[in-house]
Amino acid sequence: MKEKTNIRELFASAAERDTFLKICAPMVRYSKLEFRSLVRTYGTDLAFTSMIMADSFCKSEKARLNEFTTNKDDTPLIAQFAANNTIDFLSASEMVYPYVDGVDLNCGCPQRWAMAEGYGSALLKTPELIADMLGTVRRNMPSSFSVSVKVRLLSSTNQTRTIDMCRQLEATGITFLTVHGRTAPEMTKVPVHRDALQEIKQSIHIPMVANGDIFTLDDAERMYAETKCDGKYPSKPHRAPQRER
């Protein structure tokens, strides 16, 4: 089993230095081992795998070999999964546990294929299911192992529902959460609602990562100045993976 990095301590260290984590986002067909190794040489603090379909990962060795490879230097690393039920998310998390420092549940993908199959942003309609998936994995993993989630805004104007959801997810014991600063229907059609990200950040006690409209380090610095979020990862057009059947 690969030596672990404690993600909670990583965020705490950044906070002590009054700065934020520079995170390489989960990008379809980009976030493979070779790409992660490259971005680490440019000061990346934390890297994600690309989004992996949890059901295929559990059922198919071919899918596992295609979607996930690592080495001893590939840390800190979080594996992001798309799952629409607790069994798949827990099983995938248990399988990948020896090789990563945490797992993340994608509840932010707004693409039609994901929504149609109950993945990504479709899960935002059932926060109790998200909480069950996160809570189950949290209870079955060591406390030092990171469990996190990515969500979107539930409204572009009133953040009460989004804050309530984030607090519900925080209560499951997750290490941190990522918020994309748009609603699912908005996709990339409007600028990120930075005021909403700031309001959510002030309403929770765990680290929060901001996502959306971050293309350069200057963008990340500006986001930190405006929201005081604990981490930033860049934006890139998101393409659907080829599913294993």
> All domains of the chain, ordered by start, with CATH?
7-233 (3.20.20.70)
Active-site residue numbers?
Answer: 109
Q: 77-117, pLDDT tens digit by residue?
A: 999 999 999 999 999 999 999 999 999 999 999 988 999 99
Q: 203-234, pLDDT tens digit by residue?
A: 999 999 999 999 999 999 999 999 999 987 77
H or E segment to which residue 196 belongs: helix 194-201
When pLDDT is cut at 50, 70 and 90, the band that residue 236 belongs to is low
Closest CA to 223 of 40, 21, 42: 21
Q: How far apart are CA 122 and CA 119, in angstroms?
A: 6
Whether the pLDDT of residue 237 is over 50: the answer is no
**CA 45, 50, 55, 58 torsion: positive or negative?**
negative
Q: How far apart are CA 140 and CA 36, in angstroms?
A: 28
Q: How far apart are CA 66 and CA 86, in angstroms?
A: 23
Whether the pLDDT of residue 19 is over 60: the answer is yes
Whether the pLDDT of residue 235 is over 70: the answer is no
Q: How far is CA 119 from CA 141, 185, 224, in A?
A: 23, 15, 29
Q: What is the pTM of this model?
A: 0.93
